[in-house]
Structure 1
Amino acid sequence: MADVAMASATIEQEPTTTKINVYAMDRYVIREANTRQELDQILDVIWAANYFPFEPFVQLFFPVLGYTPAHRDAAIAESKERFWIQHQADSSSHWYYAFDTTTGKTVGSAQWVVSQSNPFTAGVPKLKAPWWPEGECRKFCESIINQVYRPRASWMTRPHCALNWLAVHPAHRLRGIGYLLMNVGILRADDLNLECWMEASAMGKPLYEKHSFQSLFKLDFDNERSNATDEWRRCAHEMTPPPIFAMWRPQRGMWTTQNGQEVKMPWELGTA
């Protein structure tokens, strides 16, 4: 993260709501998305960020089912509709974006999920990927995303905050935007005295460590399958993401107790 001059600012919300004090650069303002237009602009940032450099994980959530610009446009339109429907249906979902006051553009985004009760009372969910057509690619995608999500659903059976997405437009990286978007969730979590969780890429890991997250383990994906079809093997070759890191931040980022003892790990804390 580049060194930047920071000035006091606020998170702007539209319509007017309670403002939260944060640190922001004069040029960028953090806002919470409340409209379809705002979320569409957030998706544009996510697409741009994950194709420069190319992040294999993006294929799982945003398949381009063809090779022409029209196929890509259709994939972008489908993802925008899907994310808006999901966001509207989930009261714990909070999308924030960095607004560039110079250009009037959205240049960064983050989704923080704030669960004030146990979101996994029904146990570990079996995630589906209906945005893929029926077939081996869908089954492969579902295999990967369920491997990603299983530790969270197994151990975070208490109120907590989770970072699902964080993206910064390639033209605006190394300007402190990721730091601002992280602060939004951290401030909310500390205000509610909640733990935080995320599944992180190697590229994002240093930023998260600056916010008191630590890696619990590194997850390498199992893409082996007995009697695998040619289509499955192609998916495994083209779509298996690099290993990710399961990262956790205890309440208020305190890794030791007042008595100097190490805090209990997520799997030791049980259900609340």
Structure 2
Amino acid sequence: MGFIVLPASIPDIRLVYDVYFAAFDGELVTQILFPWDIHNEDFRKGHAAHTLDYWQKDKLQYTYKCVDTETDKIVGMSLWDYHWKERSGEERKLPAVDWLQGEQKDRAQEFIRAFWQRKEELIGGKRHVYCHVVAVHPQYQRRGIGALLTQPGIDVAQQLEVPLYLEATDNATKLYSKLGFEKLNPGVVLSPHVAATDQSIEAPIMVKMPTGVHSFEQWLQN
């Protein structure tokens, strides 16, 4: 018995995001994108409905769950985009923050723009695998689950012979380095307004190259 990673299904939506919100409770990303009580039942119902609608429309995004096979509990999740074809500018336009208004929307849009713009500079429309998030419930962290949840993306990137690109947290860079990721500099610079600090902060960017390609720079030249 142990842990197993499987594709998430529609009945898993609430349980998968129970893990996400537990893992990132109080973190900058949830404060900016979901500036409400993330444990409120009305918010969670609305979020689940929005997620279901997105799952039914998107053709390139895949969600995975990690299950504790002894308890059947979902203890981790990861979210991936598999871009096996090159994309036009229209296909990769800046996502809109339609669920917020006013200053909250402006801050969230600036936050998303910073990550989107850096990815555009580095990847553009080229083929790649993108990791949105890897989240492990706090009670199950440091048990190898993060590595298990990263493996599906690693496998697909290797099959496609493309880079796997992600934005890491400072705490996660050690894990990704062990899995063969390299850190790209500079990372994503967040303004004091977005970070709610006295100065800008930098979020790490990491990439894992498929076997046979020695560096990200080498891949860019092809």
Residue 236 to residue 30, structure 1, CA distance change in 2 (3 Å) = closer
Once the two structures are TM-superposed, the CA of residue 236 in structure 1 deviates from its matched residue by: 5.6
Match of 1:164 among 106, 125, 132: 132
Residue 242 to residue 102, structure 1, CA distance change in 2 (3 Å) = farther
Residue 123 to residue 237, structure 1, CA distance change in 2 (3 Å) = same
- List alignment gaps of at least 5 residues for structure 1: 1-25, 225-234, 257-261
Q: Which residue of 1 aligns with 2:9?
A: 34
TM score, norm. by length of structure 1 = 0.72
Once the two structures are TM-superposed, the CA of residue 263 in structure 1 deviates from its matched residue by: 5.4
Large movers: runs of 4+ above 3 Å: none
Once the two structures are TM-superposed, the CA of residue 255 in structure 1 deviates from its matched residue by: 5.5
Matched-pair contact (CA < 8 Å) for 1:123–1:154? no
Q: State how many pairs are aligned.
A: 219
The correspondence of residues 17-32 of structure 1 with structure 2, limited to 5 A, is: 26-32=1-7
Are 2:101 and 1:146 aligned? Answer: no
Matched to 1:47, the amino acid is F
Q: Which residue of 1 aligns with 2:217?
A: 264
Residue 102 to residue 96, structure 1, CA distance change in 2 (3 Å) = same
Matched to 2:206, the amino acid is M
Residue 61 to residue 119, structure 1, CA distance change in 2 (3 Å) = farther
Matched-pair contact (CA < 8 Å) for 1:214–1:249? yes
Q: 2:5 and 2:55 mapped to 1: Cα distance?
A: 18
Once the two structures are TM-superposed, the CA of residue 237 in structure 1 deviates from its matched residue by: 2.8
Are 2:18 and 1:44 aligned? Answer: yes
Once the two structures are TM-superposed, the CA of residue 155 in structure 1 deviates from its matched residue by: 2.8
Matched to 2:208, the amino acid is R
Matched-pair contact (CA < 8 Å) for 2:118–2:188? no
Matched-pair contact (CA < 8 Å) for 1:31–1:97? yes
Identity across aligned pairs (percent)? 21
Q: Which residue of 1 aligns with 2:153?
A: 185
Once the two structures are TM-superposed, the CA of residue 130 in structure 1 deviates from its matched residue by: 1.2
The correspondence of residues 84-123 of structure 1 with structure 2, limited to 5 A, is: 84-122=52-90
Are 2:45 and 1:80 aligned? Answer: no
Residue 120 to residue 207, structure 1, CA distance change in 2 (3 Å) = farther
Q: Which residue of 2 aligns with 1:216?
A: 184
Are 2:201 and 1:249 aligned? Answer: no
Once the two structures are TM-superposed, the CA of residue 79 in structure 1 deviates from its matched residue by: 2.1
Q: 2:55 and 2:91 mapped to 1: Cα distance?
A: 22
Once the two structures are TM-superposed, the CA of residue 76 in structure 1 deviates from its matched residue by: 2.1
TM score, norm. by length of structure 2 = 0.87
Once the two structures are TM-superposed, the CA of residue 154 in structure 1 deviates from its matched residue by: 3.2
Q: Which residue of 2 aligns with 1:62?
A: 34
Structure of larger gyration radius: 1
Q: 2:209 and 2:84 mapped to 1: Cα distance?
A: 15
Once the two structures are TM-superposed, the CA of residue 131 in structure 1 deviates from its matched residue by: 1.4
Once the two structures are TM-superposed, the CA of residue 219 in structure 1 deviates from its matched residue by: 2.5
- List alignment gaps of at least 5 residues for structure 2: none
Structure 1 vs Structure 2 CA RMSD: 2.5
Matched to 1:173, the amino acid is Q
